[in-house]
Chain A
Amino acid sequence: MTTKARFPAASRLLHWMMAAMIVAMLFIGVGMAASVSARYELLVSIHRPLGVAIFVLCVIRIVNRFINPPPELPDTLSSLQRFAAKASHIVLYALMFIMPLVGWGMLSAARYPIVLYGPLRLPPILPHDLTLYAWLRDLHAGLAYLFFATFLAHFGAALFHGLIRRDGVLESMASWR
C-alpha cells in the first residue's frame, strides 16, 4: 500500500526552506572551523544570523506541526522502520532547536559580541567563563557532526522511499503539484 497523503503546503515550505538553510549551515560551519582565508570572516558573518533564522523558523515549525499534523506513514513499514523514522525526526527537531542556543551560549561564555548585522546584536545569555565556553564549543561541534549524520540518514531514507520502496513517502514531502 502506498500513501497518497501529502504534507500541507506550509509544512512543505518550512521543510524545504530549512533543509537548504541547515545543509548550508553545516557546510559553512565545517568550512569556517577549518579556514584561515578571507572566507573565514564572510562565513562567520553568515553563520550567526543564519543560526538565529533557523532557530526562529524551528519554533514556527514546531507550532505548525501541531496545527498541521504530518500524514500517516504507510502501513507497509515495519515497527522498527516506524521507530527509526520517528526517532530520527525527533533528533532533527531537537538539533535544530538546540544548536543555535548552544552557539549563542558558547559565544556568550567567551564574551564575543554576537553581531547579527550592523549594529544588531544579541545579548549574552551565560556568564563569561572559559571552561563553560570550552565545554559548549566542543558540544557545538559534536552536535554538528551528529546533525550531519542524522541528515544523511534522513536523506538516504527519503531516497530509499522514493526510488526503492516507491511508497509515496518521498512524494508526500517532495511534490510541487
Chain B
Amino acid sequence: MKPLWFKVAIATNPGLLVRLGAIGAVLLSVIAAFAYTGGWLSPVRLTQDRMMAAFRDANGTHVGFRRNHAKGVCVTGWFESSGQAAALSKAAVFRPGRIPVVGRFALAGGMPFQTDAPATVRSMALRFLLPGGEEWRTGMNNIPVFPVNSARGFYEQLLASSADPVTGKPDPVRIKAFLAAHPETVRALPLIKQHQVTSGFANSTFNSLNAFRFVDAAGASVPVRWSTVPVQPFAADSAEPSAAGDKNYLFDNLIAQIAQHPRQWRLIVTIGQADDPTNDATLPWPAGRRQIDAGTVTIDHASSEDGGRCTAVNYDPLVLPSGIEPSDDPLLSARSAAYARSFTLRAEEEHEKPPSAVTAQEVQGEGKS
C-alpha cells in the first residue's frame, strides 16, 4: 500500500518514475560490481573456489585433509642460528641463538592415503617461533625447481595430470596440450627428473623454490632462495621397502630414525644477483651463487597429524618475520591464497576427518606399522 502522496506524485509527475528507475539502476550497479569482484560474473577467472574444485576433481574428496600435500606427519625441534645471515636480514631468527620449530613432512598431492613412492615429491614445512610473537613459515620441496610459474599453470597442470575416469591414468592428449601451452614446464621437467631421489625424508634436500628478499637493518635488500640440506649422508632410493608392502615406508623410516637420533639439516641461503629471476620458480639460478649457512634445524620428535602440533597450522609462505619479504613471484600470493582456502575447508570439516594415514599408534611403535 503506497501512501496517497505517492500516488498523487506519480500521477502528477512522470519524472518520479525515472528517478525511481535511477535509484534501482544505481543499486543494481553496486550489486553487479560486488558480484564481479567476487568472481561470480567471470566463469573463466581462476578463483580460490575453482582451484579447490580442481583439487577435488584430481584427487577426490578427502574431508578434513589438506587439499595438497595431504599425507604427512608432524615434527618438532629447534633452529640454532649461526648468526651468519644476520648481516643480510634483520630477522630475529638469524641472530645467534636457538628457537623452537614446529614442522611437517609430507608427500605432494591431495591423496592422504597414497602409497609412499620414490617419485612422489616430498616436502618439509617449518614454522619458526621467533621471540615476541613473530613467525616464519616456509614450505619446501625436494625438487630443484617448480614445474610451473603461475597459478594458472598450476591449475592447468592439476587438471591435465589428473586420472582419466575410464583408464585410471592421465590422458596423454591433455598432457601434451598442457605442455604445448607451457614451455616453462617443458624446460623445468628435465631438471626435476635429473635430481637424484634419496632413500628417505631424512637425507632429502628441500628447496624454497620461490624467491624472497632479505632486508637488513639499514633497509637494503637482496633476493634469496633457501634450502634445508641434510646432515645425514646421501643414499640413493632403492625402492625396496615399498615392494615389501609398507605403504608408509618413507614416513615409518623417518619416524624410526628420529626416535633413534635427532635428524639435522643446514639452512643454506643462496644470494641471488640483480638479474637472477625472482618471479619464475621454474628457472634455476646460475651455479656458483654465494651461499650462507644460516644455522641448523634439528628435528628430535615426530607425531601423528592426529593430535600433532602441525595440524592446526597453515604453512602459508607469506607468514614472514620483519627482515624477510616476498619477492615478485606471483606463486607466493597464489600459494598463500590457496593454502588459506584449503585451511578453511579442512577446519570446517575437522569433526568429520578420519584418522591420518600415519596414526598415533604407528608413531608410538616408532614407525613399525
* B65 to A: closest C-beta gap in Å: 12
Q: Residue A138 at the B interface, CB < 8 A?
A: yes
Nearest A residue to B151 by beta-carbon distance? A36
* B113 to A: closest C-beta gap in Å: 21
Q: Residue A39 at the B interface, CB < 8 A?
A: yes
B34 contacts A30, C-beta separation under 8 Å: yes
Binding site for B on A (CB under 8 A): 26-27, 30-41, 44, 78, 110-113, 118-119, 121, 123, 128-131, 133-134, 137-138, 148, 152, 155-156, 159-160, 163-164
The 8 Å CB contact of B151, one of A37, A44, A119, A163, is A37
Supposing A27-B33, A40-B337, A131-B351 touch, asked if A164 and B133 sit within 8 A by C-beta, the answer is no
Q: Residue B217 at the A interface, CB < 8 A?
A: no
Sort A-B residue pairs by CB-CB distance and give the 3 closest, nearest first.
A134-B347, A34-B39, A41-B333
Residues in B with CB closer than 8 Å to A44 are 336
Nearest B residue to A136 by beta-carbon distance? B347
* B108 to A: closest C-beta gap in Å: 18
How many inter-chain residue pairs (CB < 8 Å) link A and B?
A: 113
CB proximity to A under 8 Å, residues B317-359: 318-319, 322, 326, 330, 332-334, 336-338, 343-344, 346-348, 350-351
* A35 to B: closest C-beta gap in Å: 6
A33 contacts B135, C-beta separation under 8 Å: no
Nearest B residue to A121 by beta-carbon distance? B133
Which of B14-22, B204-212, B289-297, B361-369 lies on the face that meets chain A? B14-22
Give Cα A61 to B338, complex, Å. Answer: 37
* B158 to A: closest C-beta gap in Å: 12
* B9 to A: closest C-beta gap in Å: 8
A159 contacts B23, C-beta separation under 8 Å: yes
Residues in A with CB closer than 8 Å to B22 are 163
Give Cα A47 to B34, complex, Å. Answer: 16
- How big is chain B's contact interface, by range? 35 or more
A155 contacts B38, C-beta separation under 8 Å: no
Q: Residue B257 at the A interface, CB < 8 A?
A: no
Q: Residue B164 at the A interface, CB < 8 A?
A: no
Residues in A with CB closer than 8 Å to B314 are 110, 112
Name the residue among A113, A119, A129 with the largest chain B CB count within 10 angstroms. A113
The 8 Å CB contact of B338, one of A32, A36, A39, A137, is A36
B134 contacts A164, C-beta separation under 8 Å: no
A155 contacts B37, C-beta separation under 8 Å: no
A36 contacts B326, C-beta separation under 8 Å: no
Give Cα A41 to B338, complex, Å. Answer: 12
B34 contacts A130, C-beta separation under 8 Å: no
Name the residue among A36, A119, A129 with the largest chain B CB count within 10 angstroms. A36
B333 contacts A33, C-beta separation under 8 Å: no
Give Cα A33 to B311, complex, Å. Answer: 22
B38 contacts A152, C-beta separation under 8 Å: no
Give Cα A131 to B311, complex, Å. Answer: 12
Which of B41-49, B116-124, B242-250 lies on the face that meets chain A? B41-49
A152 contacts B27, C-beta separation under 8 Å: yes
Residues in B with CB closer than 8 Å to A137 are 344, 347-348
A110 contacts B343, C-beta separation under 8 Å: yes
Give Cα A79 to B3, complex, Å. Answer: 13
A163 contacts B333, C-beta separation under 8 Å: no
Give Cα A36 to B133, complex, Å. Answer: 27
B318 contacts A41, C-beta separation under 8 Å: yes
Residues in B with CB closer than 8 Å to A128 are 312
B312 contacts A111, C-beta separation under 8 Å: yes
* A31 to B: closest C-beta gap in Å: 4
Give Cα A44 to B326, complex, Å. Answer: 14
The 8 Å CB contact of B37, one of A31, A113, A130, is A31
Contact with A along B210-221 (1 / 0, CB 8 A): 000000000000
